[in-house]
Structure 1
Amino acid sequence: MRNFLRTRLRTRFSRATAVTAALLSVFSVTAPAYANNVIVLNSGEATLSLIDEATRQVVATIPTGKEPHHLMATPDNSSLIVANSVSNNLMFVDPKTGKPQRWVENIEDPYQVGFSPDNKWFVSTGLRLDRLDIYRYDGKNISIAKRIPLAVMPSHIAFTNDSKTAFISLQVSGEIAAIDLATQTVKWKMKVGPVPAGLWMTPNDKYMLVGMTGADYVAVVDWRNQKIVKTIKTGNGAHNFRSLADGKHVVVSNRVASTISVIDQDSLTNVGDITGLLPGPDDMELSADKRYLWVTFRFAKKVGIIDLTNRKLIQTIAVGRSPHGIYFYDRAPVFGPNGG
């Protein structure tokens, strides 16, 4: 919590046109031949690391804007959007090579971002500015529809499959806000617990899972009736989610406990913890064969690879400071915003 508040107090960084041009000219690295590359955002260094998935080696380090936390592929997967929260802009990169394609300026404080399932709306939480920005999306251009003030530190996003509602976790007030996308209004807020972060919709939107970074559990929310029906004990700092793509299980990273819990979405129980990890597990991504789970360790400057057959950490890769979002080119998004 203290780290989040420190982030809010940082001086806002404004990118001038000359700086943008300079960053583009800095990219003199010849992009490696495409080979299932992995992109990791180093939020503490304003760079992204490009990792060859096969060799598990960093093959390029590319400048971004200041504090790139989260990322999201465009619906056609032709670009990867890097949200530079303190630079107040979006960087579109080639998802195969990490090479910058274009910049979109004047996107204020894009911390977490995501497209609605129908691809009509692009949503951005302003963690520092305490608001939600909703943009129209026409397949190429992003234009502001409405800015909605929210409680302190709006963080993660989830959508209903019908694209009618977006849910936003509000970390300081301990609430979830439901946003009507058609009218861009707040439908309701409800208390869920201390420092809610990651949000996950179970199959058929039956329940919403909420990671409690200020506690040691995941809250199961009946969002239609606005009530908590159950809590699932995980580890301290339950934070972010990722599907294991088997139709049944989802994992949650426990940032304080430095563990990852496996949750059965049918029984709504913790069916096992992955231990022996480095400090601060955060965002996660799954290999195409579903055997390996890659995870960013925010406090260790490394990415880890977990073998899911035995749930063991088998390798780490040094990247930049405070690695956060992670993306595999050969994967279509299966969960909405990453990240984390």
Structure 2
Amino acid sequence: MTIPLSSCPPLRRLVATLPLCLLVAAAGCRRFAFPDVPAGYREFAYVSNGASNTVTVLDLVYLRQDRTLRVGNNPSGMDVNQTKQEVYVTNAQSGSVSIIDTAKNQVAATIPVGRLPYSLSVEPSGLRAFVANSGSNSVSVIDLNQRRVVQVAGTGEQPGVARVAPDARTLVVSNRGSGSVSIFNVAPDVGPGSGAPLSLRATFGGCPGATDVAILPDSSKAFVACSGGHQVMAVGLAVLPGSWAARHDTSLLADHFLTFLDVGKTPVHLAMKPDGGEIFVSNYASDSISEVSTSTNEVGGTYVIGNKPVHGIVSADNGTLWVSNFGADSVGIYSIDDGKLEGSVHTGSAPDVMAFSADEHLLLVADAHSGDVSVIRTQDKQGPALFTILPAGGSPNDIVVKAMQGKQ
């Protein structure tokens, strides 16, 4: 008996693939232990395709390509607004940011910023975004309600990553060209006419090729990958005046350099445990990861993981690290509790950035050379496995996920 596609439950199925429903016919079209979702639930992945000047929208409920959106030239970094139904993408060659309305999955606006914007970070309130303009040596502050730039602040040379702290008081910018880190105070948004949001607090040098930034959940420290060498910089961030820490140690009122941590060669990405207890460094030229204790600012060890690791992501339970091995066409699975590599999953060509689905049942891996997204089931009877590969565009640069509960 052939079951029509329309009779299959929508969650996590390849809608356009008839054999899938044939496989599940004997089981009454069950979903093979995929978790249920409520009626009206929608979830999408957004993939910036640098060589195609597009963003691919993937439907994660039906596991299919939803549509392709035309944006600016060479779209690169992306971020999600947690309070609005919007996703943002920097268009490096166009010097702009595209706003994607995730309720309609269409481009709602395009905002000019500086030259060569490669990344952006949305503050927790969802009111402002901070854009690192690599070609202008600056950060643009976007008011997301007014959809316009309200300030441009100078940085070091070739800023690559701008990361706002969880407490929204601090912006940390890595300057690849000058091998430095710029730290800004972020003023509260109290409406129009409230003054410049950013003011420079401190600058720290000696970090060649400064690239990725990780900030602890309590906003007390920042870690920066020095990709031009073999170290990670640790910086203590200024505490709030009047806080318990400030009353006991007034020196903590200022940002302060802590230490350089020796890791592997060419550290390019920092993956932090959700609890902030450890950071895992992807060492591209050493085929390894380094485990950093954020409480003691020490490297616990460096371990072989795979050929050219470029990106890591840690599960919500703090137990598993997934690492994309750019040179091995695979994702390594590292048990944090056991301290060992448990296995790997094959992907498309040159896996790079990754993102979990909202329930973490799926791991999405953007494959830079094959122009697609590998969909890995993180929970399977035989362990994690590649479930399918979905089309994207040329040279995918970033991937983010947005889940929404719509009307029935």
Equivalent residue for 2:368, pick from 290, 295, 298? 298
Instruction: Tell whether the 8 Å contact from 1:70 to 1:325 is kept in structure 2 after alignment.
Output: no
Q: Give the one of 51, 61, 79 matched to 2:70.
A: 61
Q: Output the TM-score relative to the length of structure 2.
A: 0.62
Q: Which residue of 2 aligns with 1:312?
A: 386
Q: Match for residue 124 of structure 2?
A: 75
TM-fit CA distance, 1:168:
0.7
- Contiguous gaps of at least 5 residues in structure 1: 1-33, 332-340
The structure-2 alpha-carbon separation of the partners of 1:318 and 1:133, relative to structure 1 and needing over 3 Å to count, comes to same
CA-CA distance at 1:195 after TM superposition: 0.7
The C-alpha deviation readout for 1:200-249, integer Å capped at 9, x for no partner, is 33465443321111112211234555543323321011222213334422
Deviations 1:82-138 (A, max 9, x none): 5443355548597xxxx9933454554331222222221111112223221212223
Matches within 5 A, 1:1-340: 36-43=43-50, 47=53, 49-54=55-60, 55-63=64-72, 64-66=91-93, 67-77=116-126, 83-86=132-135, 88-90=138-140, 101-103=147-149, 105-106=152-153, 108=155, 109-140=158-189, 141-182=197-238, 183-202=254-273, 204-275=275-346, 277-308=347-378, 309=380, 310-312=384-386, 314-321=388-395, 323-330=396-403
**Native 8 Å contact 2:56 2:65 kept in 1:** no
Moved over 6 A (4+): none
Displacement of 1:158 in angstroms is 1.6
Seen in structure 2, the aligned counterparts of structure 1 residues 61 and 82 have a Cα distance that, compared at 3 Å, is farther
TM-score, structure 1 as length reference: 0.74
Query: Residues 78 and 263 (structure 1 numbering): CA distance in 2 closer, same or farther, change over 3 Å?
Result: farther
- Report if the CA contact (8 A) 1:58-1:319 is conserved: no
Return the offset for 1:40. Answer: 2.7
8 Å CA contact 1:41–1:68 kept in 2: the answer is no
Residues 119-128 or 48-57, more deviating: 48-57
Unaligned ranges ≥5, structure 2: 1-40, 73-90, 94-115, 190-196, 239-253
Note closer, same or farther for the CA distance 1:223–1:91 as it changes in structure 2 (3 Å cut).
Answer: closer
* Closer/same/farther in 2, CA of residues 137 and 307 from structure 1, 3 Å limit: same
Equivalent residue letter for 1:136: N
Shift of 1:71: 4.0
Q: 2:248 — aligned with what?
A: none
In 1, the alpha carbon distance for the partners of 2:273 and 2:162 equals 20
Contact 1:41 1:69 in 2 (8 A): no
Q: Radius of gyration: which is bigger?
A: 2
Separation in structure 2 between the aligned mates of residue 41 and residue 150 of structure 1, nearest angstrom: 32
Deviations, residues 170-220 of structure 1 (Å, cap 9, x unaligned): 112211111121123322112212111222334654433211111122112
RMSD: 3.1
Deviation at 1:51, TM superposition (A): 0.8
Distance 2:319 2:263 in 1: 24
CA–CA distance in structure 2, aligned partners of residues 176 and 82 of structure 1: 23
User: How far apart in 2 are the matches of 1:52 and 1:294?
Assistant: 10
Question: Number of residue pairs matched?
Answer: 291
